[in-house]
């Protein structure tokens, strides 16, 4: 967790402020009813499914007269093809699934290429509001795209499995160990990683099921995690989201409008120590961070604010102003004590306190029930993006390891690092330049 938190490149506040505007990459306006996964019963001929008792009639029935059009929430649409993969700069969605796969024994480069080709086609279709190519489950028949994004990454072990060790980026070397790590190896890493996000739970699950079915015999699930965020439009006015500790989370996240955003987040097309196939890609660090909520909630609000360095009510720095007011790190109280403590989370994670290190955070909260001791298994599915984890996540986490007040209330339980290739052009699949280069 860092103060650059809940990673909306386009913030949720911006999405709520303009609820009738489709997501970046939309092909039309919700007012036209043109952006739906399947308009109330879909579009004729969109898939090869057989519905009802008509016996052999392909596609979906025409939308009935007088049917209620999809809301702006359901009609949000993100394009699959592009310079970068989807699911990085788009605003955070309300529902998410993270799933890692290991290639099956004996599967190699050829099988990996075929799998990524299948996955890319499925992602393109589902994000465009169409059904899966084969054996669509029908889970999301009456839903729009709901800002669905599907993102693919490659783990360190993927390259040995496919005989491509010479093409493995140096930046994909394993992360160092940190003192707060209590990692479950079975829920960490993996050959392949898939991130799914959508503003509707059924749309997100439908995509997860399609991706799992597409894996077939080529790969098996290593681990899978489910997350959520506040739904767009759920608050009375636009605001930054809160995490499960109740803190406003996401104030200082980098924005695409920042002059150095691309340099910090994406691998350049040239002049990089990365292989050419990683141009316009990024690196995703994935951490399952359990929040020790019972301990946290025993603190007074004032104590919580000193741990974070911001007011709980509105996210403003303890030194005054509003959420976006610059924090005065030198300000002291009447007794001469720093208003923002030296070990406050918001102080430690500032880029100007870490040699300029910055990450784009795009996490989901999670809650997996109550354990045998009556303690909630809840926290953050932390996902951060950067052009180089050795210049982004690693220095920040090392700094946090040395004295972050928040570290007493969280525990890192799973971890992964994945190379996420650049976006696929029309007619390409993700990773094609690596696997066929």
Q: Residues 175, 187, 400, 346: what is their CA dihedral angle, to the nearest 10 degrees?
A: 130
* Residues 62/40, Cβ–Cβ less than 8 Å: no
Strand 192-198 relative to strand 360-361: parallel, antiparallel, unpaired? unpaired
Q: Residues 145, 383, 346, 23: what is their CA dihedral angle, to the nearest 10 degrees?
A: -20
Question: Is 102 assigned a catalytic role?
Answer: no
The single residue of 23, 136, 142, 249 carrying the catalytic annotation is 249
CA distance 314 to 285: 28
Q: Residues 299, 300, 303, 304: what is their CA dihedral angle, to the nearest 10 degrees?
A: 70
* Residues 94/202, Cβ–Cβ less than 8 Å: no
Tokens of 428: 């390409």
Cα 253 to Cα 10, 250, 324, 349, 434, distances in angstroms:
10, 6, 11, 11, 31
Cα 226 to Cα 367, 371, 420, 429, distances in angstroms:
8, 17, 20, 26
Three-state DSSP at 255 gives: coil
Residue-by-residue DSSP string for 18-57:
STTSPPTT-SS-GGGT---SS-TT--TTSS--B-TTSSS-
Q: Please list the active-site residues.
A: 249
């Amino acid at each position: 967790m860092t103060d650059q938190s809940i990673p909306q490149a386009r913030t949720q506040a911006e999405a709520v402020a303009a609820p009738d505007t489709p997501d970046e990459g939309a092909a039309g306006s919700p007012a036209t009813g043109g952006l739906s996964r399947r308009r109330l019963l879909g579009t004729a001929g969109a898939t090869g499914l057989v519905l009802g008792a008509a016996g052999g009639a392909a596609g979906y029935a025409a939308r009935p007269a007088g049917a209620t059009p999809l809301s702006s929430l359901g009609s949000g649409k993100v394009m699959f093809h592009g310079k970068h993969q989807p699911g990085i700069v788009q605003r955070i969605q309300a529902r998410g699934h993270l799933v890692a796969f290991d290639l099956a024994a004996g599967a190699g480069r050829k099988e990996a290429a075929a799998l990524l080709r299948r996955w890319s086609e499925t992602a393109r279709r589902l994000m465009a509001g169409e059904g899966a190519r084969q054996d669509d489950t029908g889970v999301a028949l009456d839903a729009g795209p709901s800002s669905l994004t599907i993102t693919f990454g490659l783990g360190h072990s993927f390259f040995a499995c496919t005989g491509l060790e010479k093409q493995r980026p140096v930046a994909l070397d394993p992360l160092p160990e940190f003192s707060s790590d209590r990692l479950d190896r079975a829920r960490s890493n993996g050959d392949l990683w898939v991130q799914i996000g959508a503003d509707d739970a059924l749309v997100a699950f439908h995509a997860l099921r399609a991706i799992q079915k597409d894996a077939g015999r080529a790969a098996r699930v290593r681990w899978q995690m489910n997350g959520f965020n506040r739904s767009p439009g759920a608050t009375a006015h636009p605001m930054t989201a809160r995490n499960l500790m109740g803190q406003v989370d996401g104030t200082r996240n980098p924005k695409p409008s920042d002059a150095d955003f691309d340099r910090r987040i994406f691998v350049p097309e040239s002049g990089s120590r990365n292989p050419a196939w990683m141009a316009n890609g990024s690196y995703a660090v994935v951490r399952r961070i359990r929040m020790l909520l019972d301990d946290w909630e025993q603190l007074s609000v004032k104590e919580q604010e000193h741990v974070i360095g911001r007011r709980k009510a509105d996210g403003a720095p303890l030194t005054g102003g509003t959420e976006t007011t610059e924090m005065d790190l030198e300000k002291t109280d009447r007794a001469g004590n720093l208003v923002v403590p030296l070990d406050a989370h918001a102080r430690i994670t500032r880029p100007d306190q870490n040699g300029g290190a910055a990450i784009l955070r795009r996490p989901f909260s999670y809650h997996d029930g109550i354990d045998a001791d009556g303690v909630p298994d809840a926290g953050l599915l932390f996902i951060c993006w950067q052009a180089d984890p050795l210049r982004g996540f690693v220095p920040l986490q090392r700094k946090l390891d040395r004295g972050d007040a928040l570290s007493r209330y969280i525990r890192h339980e799973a971890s992964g690092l994945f190379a996420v290739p650049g976006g696929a052009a029309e007619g390409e699949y993700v990773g094609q330049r690596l696997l066929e280069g």
